[in-house]
Amino acid sequence: MALSEIDRNLLERCLTRKPRAWEDFVDRFMGLVVHVINHTGQCRSINLTAADREDLAAEVFLAIIQNEMAVLRHFRGKSSLATYLTVIARRVVVRKLVEGRAAIPLGDMVAHAEADDDNLVHRLENRDEVGRLLGQLQGAEATAVRMYHLEGKSYQEIGIAVGMPENSVGPMLSRARAKLRQRAGVDGATR
């Protein structure tokens, strides 16, 4: 998906430090960041308090403005700005949650990781790997996985986009993740 004119304008305003640009940016993407925080915590069976969510949101936005907004300056427009920020936010949140759970015994962490149906997408190191794995899926499965895991879309939004009932999206995502998990396991063994 190409960069929308609204996001292009907002990005330019932020990078040139126009008045109220950062406030507009936060207003536009706060919901996305909170969704990523909630989804990531839920996928990892971590109960987040309101204070935890606020702290994690602050960490995400801090990561965006660090080094003269390096995250925004490095955006190349090869995806929507929301998709790019979802990946950034997920990386920050996962890193912070892992730091916070360092005291959990390794066996418990492994058990949680194995039980986590979304663990495959979260443990991938970079977007190229996600793209490579998504390239192994076709049609509605690829679209649904991309929309859910990279864009943070709801089952309802995915159902509308791929033309299927909302209650069919979850089972399709589970089957697609199982395929990716199997293929990643095979690829990992051959490296």
The closest alpha carbon to 184, from 88, 89, 119, belongs to 119
List, for residues 25-34, the tens digit of each pLDDT value. Answer: 999 999 999 9
The closest of 54, 15, 51 to 34, measured between CA atoms, is 54
pTM, whole model, 2 decimals? 0.53
The alpha carbons of the chain give a radius of gyration, in whole angstroms, of 17
Please tell me whether residues 104 and 172 are part of one structural domain. no
- Structural domain for 39, as ranges: 5-115
The verdict on 23 and 85 lying in the same domain is yes
- Count of structural domains, the chain: 2
Over the stretch 14-69, which tens digit does the pLDDT of each residue have? 999 999 999 999 999 999 999 999 998 888 778 888 888 999 999 999 999 999 99
* Same domain assignment for residues 162 and 182: yes
- Does residue 66 share a domain with residue 19? yes
Residue 93, helix vs strand vs coil: helix
Residues 128 and 80 in one domain: no
